Amino acid sequence: MDNSIIKITDLHFSYNGLKVLKGVTHSFEKNTLTAITGPSGKGKSTFLTTLNRLWEDVPGAALQGCVELKIAEKWRDVYASSMDIAALRRMVGMVFQIPNPLPMSIFRNMAFPLKLAGVKEKDQVQAKVQEALERAFLWDEVKDRLHSSALELSGGQQQRLCIARALILEPMVLLFDEPTSSLDYQAAGMIEDLLVSLKESCTVLMVSHYLDQVSRIADSRLELADGKLLLSNISR
Ligand SMILES: Nc1ncnc2c1ncn2[C@@H]1O[C@H](COP(=O)(O)OP(=O)(O)OP(=O)(O)O)[C@@H](O)[C@H]1O
């Protein structure tokens, strides 16, 4: 049975003629955690942004090839003109290297994406905020200070808040760009446990520079080299 959720075929990408991706073909399976590794500046972050069209405002950037997402058991072309980009980004969320909470309360950080998605009913918002914070292992630490500024949280807590904020939209796929590189060992360990737990409901792609981290938590590793993704060993 085909368990794929993302299908990429002959994907090419360039910035002002600088070729970064040169014919990537790969499928990602549902409920797995795939690590993307490789030398700096070779296109790992760029690759993630091709999956939810986050690169599209970059002047001089160009993409060729096909990216498909299985939505309600049907393959949909991510770059079709009929694709609703806001809906796409709810289905394929992204968490960045440096935590980027908005300068507002913890609660409002969480409620904001729901508001944009049209969820307004107060009890529903409260319930979803709590559920997402619990799933991100953050609820117990913030339940008594939901109306304090998110900027007062530690770096690790801010990153878990950003993950909770992505989770609240119930994404099918979550993209992580070096999610632990700005964190200390202990905070990074919590994020690693969290990423593994996310596989229950999502498909997870993570760029990482840490091969020990990859061996701890990833199901498979793809090395980005020469503009292509190559299946690589994980040493356990
Ligand atoms: N917005 C941009 N405009 C022009 N060139 C860019 C842009 N973003 C990235 N690049 C170039 O594209 C190439 C790939 O960058 P990218 O950030 O995807 O690599 P990376 O493998 O994720 O790097 P790192 O591991 O250092 O984060 C680099 O040469 C980079 O300079």
pLDDT given for residue 91 in this prediction: 97
Ligand 1 centroid from CA 143, angstroms: 38
Residue 16's domain comprises 4-232
How many angstroms separate the CA atoms of 12 and 10, rounded?
A: 6
Q: Are 129 and 106 in contact (CB under 8 A)?
A: no
Best CA proximity match to 14, nearest among 62, 79, 64, 66: 62
pLDDT given for residue 11 in this prediction: 98
Best CA proximity match to 37, nearest among 235, 232, 236: 232
- Structurally, how many domains does the chain consist of? 1
Mutate to test the pocket of ligand 1, among 12, 13, 15 (most ligand atoms within 8 A of CB): 15
Atom of ligand 1 nearest to the CA of 38: 21
Ligand 1 centroid from CA 45, angstroms: 7
Ligand 1 centroid from CA 42, angstroms: 7
Atom of ligand 1 nearest to the CA of 97: 27
pLDDT given for residue 96 in this prediction: 95
Best CA proximity match to 45, nearest among 225, 204, 176, 181: 176
Ligand 1 centroid from CA 107, angstroms: 33
Instruction: Supply the residue whose CA is at minimum distance from atom 14 of ligand 1.
Output: 43
Instruction: Supply the residue whose CA is at minimum distance from atom 1 of ligand 1.
Output: 58
Global pTM reads 0.96
How many angstroms separate the CA atoms of 187 and 165, rounded?
A: 18
Instruction: Supply the residue whose CA is at minimum distance from atom 23 of ligand 1.
Output: 41
Ligand 1 centroid from CA 133, angstroms: 32
Ligand 1 centroid from CA 165, angstroms: 26
Q: What is the pLDDT along the chain (236 residues), one digit of tens a residue?
A: 789 999 999 999 999 999 999 999 999 999 999 999 999 999 999 999 999 999 999 999 999 999 999 999 999 999 999 999 999 999 999 999 999 999 999 999 999 999 999 999 999 999 999 999 999 999 999 999 999 999 999 999 999 999 999 999 999 999 999 999 989 999 999 999 999 999 999 999 999 999 999 999 999 999 999 999 999 988 77
pLDDT given for residue 19 in this prediction: 98
Q: What is the CATH number of the domain that holds 99?
A: 3.40.50.300
Ligand 1 centroid from CA 134, angstroms: 34
User: Residues with beta carbon inside 6 Å of ligand 1?
Assistant: 15, 20, 40-46, 58
Q: Are 205 and 195 in contact (CB under 8 A)?
A: no
Instruction: Supply the residue whose CA is at minimum distance from atom 10 of ligand 1.
Output: 15
How many angstroms separate the CA atoms of 96 and 202, rounded?
A: 17
